[in-house]
Amino acid sequence: MPYLELTLRCREADQPRYENALEDVGALAVTLLDADVDTPNEHAILEPGVGETPLWGEIALSALFAHETDALVLLAALESFDPGLDWTQAHFRNVEDQDWERAWMDQYVPLSFGARTWIVPWNRDLPDGADVHDAAIVRLDPGLAFGSGTHPTTSLCLQWLDALAEAGELQGRAVLDFGCGSGILALAALKLGAQRAVGVDNDPQALLATHDNAERNGVGERLSVFLPADEPVSQYPIVVANILASALDALADTLAARVAPGGRIALSGILAGQEDALLDRYGTWFDALAVQQEGDWIRIDGVRSA
């Protein structure tokens, strides 16, 4: 039986709050490990009672959910239940008895976004009859990192990048993909005409997936990836951040500083109803802020004030 697994690290003092939130949103099981030992599986505590805290300073916590659970909706629910906790560090992977990556690839079909952009599994061809003239084709194997183009938050960003390319605003530019996941947005930007791209993510597995996907698409020399602490401070004419609303709020100063005067930004991962606070927050630095909605999800985009 497949599951969605959430993992994160937390302090001993915060463990009961994390566990309460996870159980409230439907965790099927919770496992606590000592985050500081070389062989953590020898020190596992399975489904401890609420308030029963192991004597570890830092804990590696994992929780299992039904496999059909939407990771971003789950994070939004956790953030709503206890906004005082840091949910931006949560990582996800699918756990099942078979090779889930290959099973996913067998079910995934090519998808088009905007006028030119196609996201295609690395072992598939474009569908018969598809117009491949001047198509920007990203061949993707997302590995263990989130981001395949199927979620509305990613779709909204791909449509935005495609529209920038159609307007001639992407050609020869540098792009920052903050929270790059599988690298899908950075790769699409490069395929659409960007000169170079930088991907930033706090998950080393995401950086590995982004690097592998860049090599597969023949753009490895034009894409650099960094953990947030290692990211070189720079300004970019194009910035896209597909993360959660809480992270967009917390990182507003950082993201605004990354956009060159007159540059463009797209913010995604926002549930409908969360956009007003972010419009106010980013209105300090950006003009012409616009909202686009797909399903329950929102994208905000705008132009950096001179």
Q: Are 117 and 136 in contact (CB under 8 A)?
A: yes
Element (H, E) at 242: strand 236-242
Residue extents of the structural domains in the chain: 3-95, 103-304
CB contact burial 253-276 (16+ within 10 A = b; e otherwise): eebbebbbeebbbbbbbbbeebbe
Model confidence pTM above 0.75 = no
Helices (H) and strands (E) in the chain, counts: 9, 15
CA dihedral (262, 275, 243, 101) positive or negative: negative
Q: How would you class 29 by CB atoms within 10 Å of its CB: exposed for 0-12, middle for 13-18, buried for 19 or more? A: middle
pLDDT of the residue at 102: 52
Alpha-carbon span 113 to 82, nearest angstrom: 35
Fold held by 3-95: Alpha-Beta Plaits (3.30.70)
CATH architecture for residues 103-304: 3-Layer(aba) Sandwich (3.40)
- CA-closest candidate to residue 132, choices 154, 113, 117, 121: 117
The 10 Å Cβ neighbour count of residue 126 is 14
What pLDDT is stored for residue 234 in this prediction? 95
CA-closest candidate to residue 72, choices 250, 303, 294: 294
Supply the pLDDT for residue 44: 39
The pLDDT value recorded for residue 149 is 60
d(CA 264, CA 163): 12
Position 52 scores a pLDDT of 43
Say what the pLDDT of residue 81 is. 92
Task: Decide: helix, strand or coil at residue 243.
Answer: coil
Q: Are 67 and 96 in contact (CB under 8 A)?
A: yes
pLDDT score of 306: 85
Instruction: Write out the binding residues.
Output: 154, 179, 201, 242
Question: Binding site for S-adenosyl-L-methionine, residues?
Answer: 154, 179, 201, 242
Give the pLDDT of the chain (306 residues) as one tens digit per residue.
678 899 999 888 888 899 999 989 999 888 777 665 443 333 333 334 334 444 456 888 888 898 889 999 999 999 999 999 999 889 998 886 544 445 445 556 788 899 899 888 776 777 776 766 788 999 876 444 445 566 788 999 999 999 999 999 999 999 999 999 889 999 999 999 999 999 999 888 789 889 988 998 999 999 999 999 999 999 999 999 999 899 999 999 999 999 999 999 999 999 999 999 999 999 999 999 999 999 889 999 999 998
